[in-house]
Structure 1
Amino acid sequence: MTEARLAAHLWVAAYRARLAQANIPAYVLARGDDTAGAIAVKCAHLDGTAALWMREWDMDSDTRPWVAAVRGPERDIDAAIARQRDRDRDLWVVEIESRDGTTLLDQDGLY
């Protein structure tokens, strides 16, 4: 089954609201296209490391799960984001601060 796609700005707003309910700080680092922009989530672990979460196609189930595309030193994650934004100006980037890596991206409704 192909999943319905929510406008990017609505998804980001809903995600930030859910993060706020969980007391996880979140910031929009880059605003992309309101309707069709892809979304990247940077999870800063507050120890100099981070993870960059992106959605990827799972052809077996025809879904787009969130996966940690890159993990490592925060400066490397920031460089990866900059490269991605150079290629895709419509990309949204949301940064969250979570020492234990909690992103809430695995919860129902955040697909």
Structure 2
Amino acid sequence: MTEARAATGLLVSALIRRIEAGGGSAMVLARGDATAGAILIALADRGADGPLLERSFGLDGYAWRETGPADPADRPAYLAGRRRTDPDLWIVEIDHPDARRIAMELLS
């Protein structure tokens, strides 16, 4: 029996509402497949770039892992390359001090 999963577009919308309700800001930089696209989050805190997190499915279910370049100046090229190889990928930028915790609670 397979477990029912929420559509990616619905999860992204819920994440954005939760971040904004907590005083943060969130923006979809790239819209992926509404049903089953992967999610990549660009974290920030008061405008200072944080890590990139990617939600992926493995043997134990969904997990978050840091991905991408260490230097924020290299992010645009990295994100553009990821979209070229995976057009279903959602990229969401979040500016909130607890963005990582909120994303992990909501999307894990």
State the partner residue of 2:29.
29
Task: Compare 81-90 and 3-12 and name the one that shifted more.
Answer: 3-12
- What CA distance in whole angstroms lies between the structure 1 residues aligned with 2:44 and 2:104? 17
1:22-45 superposed Cα distances (whole Å, 9 cap, x missing partner): 111100001111112111111134
Normalised by the size of structure 2, how large is the TM-score? 0.81
- Name the amino acid aligned to 2:53: W
Q: Percent identity?
A: 36
State the partner residue of 1:43.
43
In the TM superposition, residue 14 of structure 1 has moved relative to its aligned partner by 0.5
Higher helix share: 2
Over the aligned positions, Cα root-mean-square deviation in angstroms equals: 2.2
> Tell me, which stretches of 5 or more residues in structure 2 are unaligned?
none
1:1-111 correspondence runs (5 A): 4-45=4-45, 46-47=47-48, 49-59=49-59, 62-70=60-68, 72-98=70-96, 100=97, 102-103=99-100, 104-107=102-105, 109-111=106-108
- What CA distance in whole angstroms lies between the structure 2 residues aligned with 1:58 and 1:89? 20
- Name the amino acid aligned to 2:54: M
Normalised by the size of structure 1, how large is the TM-score? 0.79
